[in-house]
């Protein structure tokens, strides 16, 4: 051991006077290695620090065993890093400050189709020579220079048109002094995800285009079917008031009944198509619950009397007079169930009860039960009742007719009213169909429209001048004859532009406005008329009623938004038109 100290002493003295030292003004540092027995090496770190004329010496010794342990630890960690890099499915790479690759993992090799030695020391433009130039060097250089990590999407396109999209995270690599000496990149191949997203977007656009085309087709078919039906039903009603011969009147009644049946059939098919296309409208407004039930009852009471059925309708007095919801759809479901009850009951009774099932304070859950003594339904048939185009069997189809859509439509409508629908039945005994609808409470106050001029009842039906804007010749005649039978004077405009001209030059109490017209449609004409009224500075606002075959979702809202006051779809009933006009021209 003395030999070692002696040799160390001599080495230190030699080192002080030679270039082994890294000398500075205040300190001297030397690295000394001595050979022991069995080829073992001792490493000495000698340090002399001079400060304020004081000299401090330090000596640190490490045996080769310590070095071996340190080297083994470094080797182990390097193997772990290599194992980790090999196992990671992402593309992992390290680059130097010149942006040349220094380390890459197995996934990176496979992506490039090259071996490690073919990648190391080369730039991205050299490694990806087959790819079209989409440079991202500026992004990597930004990371190296700023030391700030960056996330970005890379797109690589081969000469053959193959496209790769990489999701890449870049981070700076620093040395022990905190200097940026390169970067590390981790990239994920997200090509399939982007292709999937692109396919989804394309499918979405195609679906939207299909929905739009379906919507346009339904709107057109609704308009085209309703227009001739308006002629059939409207002219039949007009003719019915002039025919005196009972036999001819009976023939006319058949035409009217057939037209009404065809209209009901068309409405069912169109409603179902709207449901399938997601275009069925649902509107909330205040309505008189008892009045809606009373109107529906009047429609079916005649049918019940024709079959000598007892027809009883009860509305629990606890139900408020006014509620908020879609009165039209509520009435539609009520009529569907009640009409079926009468249709499938040959004798006995049909009883309909409505009452409050649940009161949540601001809204009510109304239950309506339709009980009949008809043919009844077996359990295995009940499951098919609310499916589209389903009817009980072929014999019922032949005997009772119908599309098999009524209950399917009712189920959807009830769902829109946050309710449920069901049936309890026994063959040969009868059935009880029921549905619930959630309706909001409302404080209804009748507020007359002061902007709409009114006239007394004596004037109604005698002095009203009506401007009819309608381009279809048949519809012109139907509406004109109907209005003349009510005692009104009618002027006809064949398009929106003519309607404006006649409005400017004439004096009218009411305008019936079609929507689809050449040169200028009903919306544009209405807006222009309202503009003229505002310019004139008068408080008078002429009532404009939309009389149109447009009966799709949103059509009524478009009419009101354009400045119209009310909406009536074709084919219309004379009594409905008369009631609507009466609403505006009675005190």
476-506 pLDDT tens trace? 998 898 888 888 999 999 999 999 999 999 8
Structural domain for 47, as ranges: 2-67
Q: Is 526 in the same domain as 581?
A: yes
Residue 403 lies in a domain: yes
DSSP strand pairing (349-359 vs 310-315): parallel
Residue 83 lies in a domain: no
**322 falls in which pLDDT band (50, 70, 90)?**
very high
Least confident of 271-275, 362-366, 439-443, 481-485: 271-275
Asked which of 393, 415, 441 is the last residue of a domain, the reply is 441
Q: Is 453 in the same domain as 563?
A: yes
pLDDT in the model for residue 22? 47
Q: Is 554 in the same domain as 493?
A: yes
CA distance 102 to 147: 18
The overall pTM is greater than 0.85 = no
Identify which has the larger pLDDT, 65 or 264. Answer: 264
Residue 79 lies in a domain: no
CA nearest 477: which of 229, 255, 232, 235? Answer: 235
Residue 273 lies in a domain: no
Q: Is 31 in the same domain as 105?
A: no
Q: What b-and-e string marks burial along 217-235, b requiring 16 or more CB atoms within 10 Å of the CB?
A: ebbeebbebbbbbbbbbbb
Asked which of 441, 458, 488 is the last residue of a domain, the reply is 441
SS3 per residue for 172-214:
EEECCCCCEEEEEEEEEECHHHHHHHHHHHHHHHHHHHHHHHH
**394 falls in which pLDDT band (50, 70, 90)?**
very low
Q: Is 429 in the same domain as 460?
A: no
Max mean pLDDT among 131-135, 389-393, 434-438, 463-467 falls in: 434-438
Q: Is 525 in the same domain as 413?
A: no
**Whether the Cβ atoms of residue 505 and residue 553 lie closer than 8 Å to each other:** no
pLDDT over 70 (residue 455): no
Residue 133 lies in a domain: yes
pLDDT in the model for residue 161? 55
**Whether the Cβ atoms of residue 68 and residue 62 lie closer than 8 Å to each other:** no
Q: Is the peptide bond before 571 cis (omega within 30 degrees of 0)?
A: yes
Q: What is the CATH number of the domain that holds 172?
A: 3.30.450.20
Residue 203 lies in a domain: no
pLDDT over 80 (residue 13): no
Q: Is 544 in the same domain as 452?
A: yes
Residue 368 lies in a domain: yes
Total number of domains constituting the chain: 4
Q: Is 165 in the same domain as 182?
A: yes
Identify which has the larger pLDDT, 402 or 544. Answer: 544
Q: Is 501 in the same domain as 451?
A: yes
Q: Taken in order 108, 111, 114, 120, is the CA torsion positive or negative?
A: negative
Asked which of 410, 441, 472 is the last residue of a domain, the reply is 441
pLDDT in the model for residue 576? 84
Residue 194 lies in a domain: no
Q: Is 313 in the same domain as 424?
A: yes
Q: Phi first, then psi: give them for residue 455, nearest 5 degrees.
A: -130, 165
Q: Is 342 in the same domain as 387?
A: yes
Q: Is 54 in the same domain as 142?
A: no
| Alpha carbon separation from 379 to 382, 385, 409, 559, 583 (Å, rounded) | 5, 10, 21, 47, 48
Average pLDDT value for residue range 168-178: 88
| SS3 at position 478 | helix
DSSP 370: E
Which strands sit side by side in the sheet containing 566-569, from one edge to the other? 489-493, 465-469, 510-513, 544-548, 566-569
Average pLDDT value for residue range 356-364: 93
Q: Which two tokens stand for residue 374?
A: 């008809």
pLDDT in the model for residue 493? 95
- Tens-digit pLDDT profile for residues 230-264: 888 888 888 887 788 888 878 887 787 777 777 77
Q: Residue 4 half-sphere exposure, CB side, CA atoms within 13 Å?
A: 14
Identify which has the larger pLDDT, 57 or 517. Answer: 517
**Whether the Cβ atoms of residue 543 and residue 533 lie closer than 8 Å to each other:** no
Average pLDDT value for residue range 187-196: 88
Q: What is the CATH number of the domain that holds 233?
A: 3.40.50.2300
Average pLDDT value for residue range 502-512: 92
């Amino acid at each position: 051991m003395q030999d070692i100290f002696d040799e160390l002493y001599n080495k230190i003295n030699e080192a002080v006077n030679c270039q082994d030292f890294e000398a500075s003004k205040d300190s001297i540092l030397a690295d000394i290695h001595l050979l022991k027995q069995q080829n073992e090496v001792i490493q000495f770190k000698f340090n002399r620090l001079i400060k304020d004329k004081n000299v401090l010496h330090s000596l640190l010794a490490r045996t080769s065993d310590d070095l071996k342990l340190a080297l083994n630890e470094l080797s182990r960690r390097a193997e772990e890093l290599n194992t980790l890099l090999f196992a990671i499915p992402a593309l992992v790479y390290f680059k130097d400050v010149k942006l040349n690759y220094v380390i890459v993992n197995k996934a990176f090799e496979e992506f490039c189709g090259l071996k490690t030695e073919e990648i190391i020391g080369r730039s991205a433009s050299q490694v990806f020579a087959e790819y079209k130039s989409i440079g991202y060097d500026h992004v990597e250089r930004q990371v190296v220079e700023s030391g700030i990590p960056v996330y970005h999407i890379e797109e690589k396109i081969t000469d053959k048109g193959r496209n790769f999209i990489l999701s890449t995270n870049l981070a700076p690599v620093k040395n022990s002094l905190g200097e940026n000496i390169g970067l590390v990149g981790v990239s994920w191949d997200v090509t399939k995800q982007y292709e999937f997203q692109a396919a989804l977007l394309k499918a979405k656009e195609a679906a939207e285009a299909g929905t739009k085309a379906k919507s346009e087709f339904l709107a057109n078919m609704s308009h085209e079917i309703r227009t001739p039906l308006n002629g059939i039903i409207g002219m039949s009603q007009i003719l019915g008031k002039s025919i005196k011969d009972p036999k001819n009147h009976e023939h006319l009644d058949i035409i009217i009944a057939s037209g009404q049946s065809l209209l009901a059939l068309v409405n069912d098919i169109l409603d179902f198509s709207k449901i399938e296309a997601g275009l069925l409208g649902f509107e909330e407004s205040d309505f008189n619950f008892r009045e809606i039930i009373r109107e529906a009852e009047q429609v079916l009471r005649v049918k019940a009397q024709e079959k000598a059925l007892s027809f009883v309708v009860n509305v629990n007095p606890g139900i408020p007079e006014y509620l908020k919801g879609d009165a039209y759809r509520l009435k539609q479901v009520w009529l569907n169930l009640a009409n079926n009850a009468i249709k499938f009951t040959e004798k006995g009774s049909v009883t309909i009860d409505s009452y409050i099932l649940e009161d949540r304070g601001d809204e009510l859950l109304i239950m309506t039960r339709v009980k009949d003594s008809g043919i009844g339904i077996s359990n295995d048939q009940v499951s098919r009742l609310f499916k589209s185009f389903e009817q009980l069997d072929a014999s019922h189809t032949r005997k009772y007719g119908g599309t098999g859509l009524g209950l399917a439509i009712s189920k959807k409508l009830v769902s829109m009213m946050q309710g449920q629908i069901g049936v309890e039945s026994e063959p040969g005994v009868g059935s009880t169909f029921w549905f619930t609808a959630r309706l909001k409470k409302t404080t209804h106050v009748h507020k007359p429209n002061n902007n709409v001029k009114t006239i007394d009842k004596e004037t109604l039906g005698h002095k009203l001048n009506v401007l009819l804007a309608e381009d279809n010749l048949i519809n012109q005649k139907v509406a004109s004859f109907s209005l003349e039978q009510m005692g009104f004077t009618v002027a006809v405009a064949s398009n929106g532009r003519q309607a404006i001209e006649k409005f400017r030059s004439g004096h009218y109490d009411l305008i019936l406005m079609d929507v689809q017209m050449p040169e200028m449609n009903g919306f544009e004409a209405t807006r222009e008329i309202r503009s003229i009224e505002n310019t004139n500075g008068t408080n008078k606002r002429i009532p404009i009623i939309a009389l149109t075959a447009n009966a799709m979702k949103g059509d009524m809202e478009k009419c009101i938004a354009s400045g119209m006051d009310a909406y009536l779809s074709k084919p219309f009933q004379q009594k409905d038109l008369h009631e609507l006009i009466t609403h505006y021209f009675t005190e």
